[in-house]
Structure 1
Amino acid sequence: MDLDMNGGNKRVFQRLGGASSKDSNQKVCFHWRAGRCNRYPCPFLHRESPPPAPFPGSSSSTNNKRVADDDSGFAGSSHRRGPGSGNNTWGRFGGNRTVTKTEKLCKFWADGNCPYGDKCKYLHCWSQGDSFSLLTQLDGHQKVVTGIALPSGSDKLYTASKDETLRIWDCASGQCTGVLNPGGEVGCMISEGPWLFVGMPNLVKAWNIQTNVDLSLTGPVGQVYSLVVGTDLLFAGTQDGSILVWRYNTATNCFDPAASLTGHTLAVVSLYVGANRLYSGSMDNSIKVWSLDNLQCVQTLTEHTSVVMSLICWDQFLLSCSLDNTVKIWAATQGGNLEVTYTHKEEYGVLALCGVHDAQAKPVLLCSCNDNSLHLYDLPSFTERGKILAKQEIRSIQIGPGGIFFTGDGTGQVKVWKWSTQPTAIHP
């Protein structure tokens, strides 16, 4: 799914201007500003200096042709301090200096090779906040994690990825005990009772982990991006914009085709069942509300301006998030239709939502954004109480038992987190 075509998830960095060879010794070193200059000697200044006067005959466009060609992620304007920002003592020759930490993850530290240690101004940690902690990390997937499931009655954790594998993890030891190859790229995965459902190109695989029954449900056109179960029905959101429905047949132990719900004009990427309704979010920027009684669309919500990435129900509210950088809270009017009652804005596109209760049973919203961060908000105030950082976008979130929750990111890493058992003060 190429979400770049739908806006909101491309990070655009402003390029820095460079100096010509005739005045290079008067320019401030770009790499020094980013805290990683390793040139001995360096031809550029390792201190802040007012910009020199334009070279005779040159134009501003000429002085801005240099492109910061590196893949460190530190090339953007948000990662540097320019002229006029005050005394800058960051760098190799800073002497005794006070390092002001940013809220950005140090990518060199994440790769295990940051040379600056405590003096690095980027974060050397995977999270901020003292009400939860990282228990362990599960490595093995080679691409983005698209599903995390804990089937009922099982002591195993299942993870799915676009690397065309499912991995099985022992919950006690954290060790990978098996790797399954379903035969295609996995777009999503959920569990319901003993069943594991896997969305793939042009089909849904249903696997009963207790009886080892393995079924292939055909009918989808293109990749299956979303799955949900409600009132004995299995729903699959597909690339062609339709929602396919199967009903479980207890007599034959199979899933029989029940319906095909049409109306979306682009891929259905999020599904949720609540309050006798099916909610579907699409790349056409809309949310459709379907009655589970007759499988008819009863309302279409069009307030989002980009892809509707995730949906959840909490009490009487519907929460939706989008690549338009918003989380919207919907509530029913007296007439029964949903209307937006609150819009929470983020700096970046929002990828996934998950509701959880912390160790003190307080409601917390987990909100993943495409700046590789996941925010934890107290509800209903949306007060931020912590943040989780990753190398790449966190696409999968799953709640486990005993205060455990899981995150899966674009690198294939799955992290296991646990809420603190001690009461934690929540600061406004």
Structure 2
Amino acid sequence: MNSMDLDGNGGNKRVFHRLSGGPSTTGNHNKQQPSKVCYHWRAGNCNRWPCPFLHGELPPSVPATNGNASSKRFADDSEFSGPRQARRSSNFQSNSSWGRVGNSRVVRKTEKVCNFWVQGKCNYKENCRFLHSWSLGEGFSLLTQLEGHQNVVNGIALPSGSDKLYTGSKDGTVRAWDCASGQCMGVITLGGEVGCMISEGPWIFVGIPNAVKAWNTQTNTELSLSGPVGQVYAMVVGNDLLFAGTQDAAILAWKFNASSNCFEPAASLKGHTVAVVSLVVGANRLYSGSMDHSIRVWSLETLQCLQTLTEHTSVVMSLLCWDQFLLSCSLDQTIKVWVATESGNLESTYTHNEEHGLLTLCGMPDLEAKPVLMCSCNDNSVRLYDLPSFSERGKIFAKKEIRAIEVGPGGLFFTGDGTGQVKVWKWLAEPTATV
């Protein structure tokens, strides 16, 4: 899928800069300008013109920032790793530039999508004080929206060698979408809620209650892997093993047997006390996050637990390996950055705080090869940050929580939300300055 391009009519609308209307007087030219903000305007439904109250907010005072604050990045070969990309180095190194103030491109922190615009009936148009767009920020745009799922999308997969995008939902189906037209090419009914979905090479793995379904998109081979107890919430491939995190707190592993063309049970990793909901592989390690608030570090060679991290105070929803670091996010409203000490044990080196619980992490480079972190929050938004500075790049909004984010080729990325809608986004080239 080197030339994947999903076309559609869902292009990103311009984000309008709201200018507050000047206060008006009613017959008394010597009267002082009102200092009260219109209650109806704040609610988005003032129909008085002229209105005797302010249609605007006073700008908050902006604290001075240090223009020399460092935004130093890591080596040019920094990369994200995930299910299909193991890290090349096992030597973690600390870095002092986490969370430094950079040149944040988004300065408006409290934005809300207009509910009337979502319903297609906002009469204020460009004068509306709320966003008429599913995103805020520059450098990326919405290409199209894929409609069809009836419940939350929990997995998005792009198997290699295929011209289709696959999405899995809690509605019990997997949909295949044509990458050229964006049309749904087929629906597979599984008989159980999709808890997660990944791809590895030509294979697609779908986690459902008490099983993992596997399809080879090149040979049309279909397999069912038994063993899980309860819902399968997370999967990852590492060291030629498929790992699945399950509702009963176990991590099951299978190895593919080429001669018999099947996946054979290889191990069951025990240690978590409740459901395992996130997995990632990096630095010859398997990292698992659980509803028991902990992260466990496993050796990919011995499959033994090497360390348990207990700094999160709620469910560890997602894990991500980037460069020499492990990133974790939780419903406790924090993203933690972990680095290895000389002894090899991980310790938290930086904590980023959000105002809402965090659901999933995804990383990718923009078109300038700068690393961008995307983190979904349970306020129905995704925050985009530069790394390692955590300077804000933009926001993406949805009608419900975004549970799945996946990276595609050529600057594409995908989001799936609680309504069943899948959106296709694309990074844009920065405009070149002319003299």
Decide: shared fold, TM above 0.5: yes
- Is 1:325 aligned with 2:333? yes
**1:63-78 pair list within 5 angstroms:** none
- Is 1:387 aligned with 2:387? no
Specify which of 259, 266, 280 is matched with residue 258 of structure 1.
Answer: 266
The alpha-carbon deviation at position 95 of structure 1 amounts to 2.1
**1:42-57 pair list within 5 angstroms:** none
- Is 1:200 aligned with 2:155? no
The alpha-carbon deviation at position 424 of structure 1 amounts to 7.9
Partners of 1:138 and 1:277 lie apart in 2 by: 36
- Is 1:402 aligned with 2:410? yes
Q: Which amino acid aligns with 2:163?
A: D
| Secondary structure in 2 matching 1:220 | coil
Q: Which amino acid aligns with 2:353?
A: K
Specify which of 369, 389, 399 is matched with residue 361 of structure 1.
Answer: 369
Greater Rg by CA:
1
| Secondary structure in 2 matching 1:330 | strand
TM-score, structure 1 as length reference:
0.78
Specify which of 45, 50, 53 is matched with residue 95 of structure 1.
Answer: 50
The alpha-carbon deviation at position 105 of structure 1 amounts to 1.3
**1:157-306 pair list within 5 angstroms:** 157-306=165-314
| Secondary structure in 1 matching 2:227 | strand
- Is 1:128 aligned with 2:162? no
The alpha-carbon deviation at position 116 of structure 1 amounts to 3.3
Gaps of 5+ in 2: 1-33, 58-107
Partners of 2:217 and 2:427 lie apart in 1 by: 29
The alpha-carbon deviation at position 110 of structure 1 amounts to 1.4
Partners of 1:95 and 1:366 lie apart in 2 by: 43
Partners of 1:318 and 1:231 lie apart in 2 by: 18
Partners of 1:309 and 1:87 lie apart in 2 by: 40
Q: Answer whether contact 2:402 2:417 (CA < 8 A) is retained.
A: yes
Specify which of 122, 132, 135 is matched with residue 114 of structure 1.
Answer: 122
Partners of 2:424 and 2:277 lie apart in 1 by: 25
Q: Which amino acid aligns with 2:252?
A: L
- Is 1:352 aligned with 2:307? no
Q: Answer whether contact 2:37 2:56 (CA < 8 A) is retained.
A: no
The alpha-carbon deviation at position 93 of structure 1 amounts to 1.6
Number of the residue aligned with 1:20: none
Partners of 2:380 and 2:404 lie apart in 1 by: 12
- Deviation string for 1:33-81 (max 9, x for gaps)? xxxxxxxxxxxxxxxxxxxxxxxxxxxxxxxxxxxxxxxxxxxxxxxxx
Gaps of 5+ in 1: 1-83
The alpha-carbon deviation at position 123 of structure 1 amounts to 1.3
Partners of 2:354 and 2:239 lie apart in 1 by: 34
Q: Answer whether contact 1:99 1:120 (CA < 8 A) is retained.
A: no
Q: Provide the aligned C-alpha RMSD in A.
A: 1.7
Partners of 1:362 and 1:142 lie apart in 2 by: 35
Q: Answer whether contact 1:184 1:201 (CA < 8 A) is retained.
A: yes
Structure showing greater relative contact order (alpha-carbon pairs closer than 8 Å, 6 or more residues apart): 2
Number of the residue aligned with 1:44: none
The alpha-carbon deviation at position 114 of structure 1 amounts to 2.6
| Secondary structure in 1 matching 2:117 | helix
- Deviation string for 1:179-204 (max 9, x for gaps)? 11122110000000111000000000
Specify which of 131, 147, 150 is matched with residue 142 of structure 1.
Answer: 150
Partners of 1:95 and 1:166 lie apart in 2 by: 53
Number of the residue aligned with 2:80: none
Aligned positions, number: 342
Partners of 2:314 and 2:137 lie apart in 1 by: 31
- Is 1:338 aligned with 2:288? no
| Secondary structure in 2 matching 1:109 | helix
Number of the residue aligned with 1:104: 112
The alpha-carbon deviation at position 230 of structure 1 amounts to 0.5
Report percent identity of matched pairs. 71
Partners of 1:364 and 1:171 lie apart in 2 by: 24
- Deviation string for 1:361-392 (max 9, x for gaps)? 00100011010110110010000011101111
Number of the residue aligned with 1:86: 36
Q: Answer whether contact 2:329 2:358 (CA < 8 A) is retained.
A: yes
TM-aligned CA distance change 1:123 to 1:187, over 3 Å: same
Q: Answer whether contact 2:38 2:55 (CA < 8 A) is retained.
A: no
TM-aligned CA distance change 1:424 to 1:220, over 3 Å: farther
Partners of 2:296 and 2:385 lie apart in 1 by: 26
Partners of 1:85 and 1:283 lie apart in 2 by: 49
Q: Which amino acid aligns with 2:166?
A: Y
Partners of 1:347 and 1:94 lie apart in 2 by: 36
TM-aligned CA distance change 1:250 to 1:129, over 3 Å: same
Q: Answer whether contact 2:37 2:55 (CA < 8 A) is retained.
A: no
The alpha-carbon deviation at position 99 of structure 1 amounts to 5.1
Partners of 1:387 and 1:219 lie apart in 2 by: 40
| Secondary structure in 2 matching 1:221 | coil
The alpha-carbon deviation at position 122 of structure 1 amounts to 1.9
Partners of 2:321 and 2:420 lie apart in 1 by: 28
Partners of 2:340 and 2:187 lie apart in 1 by: 44
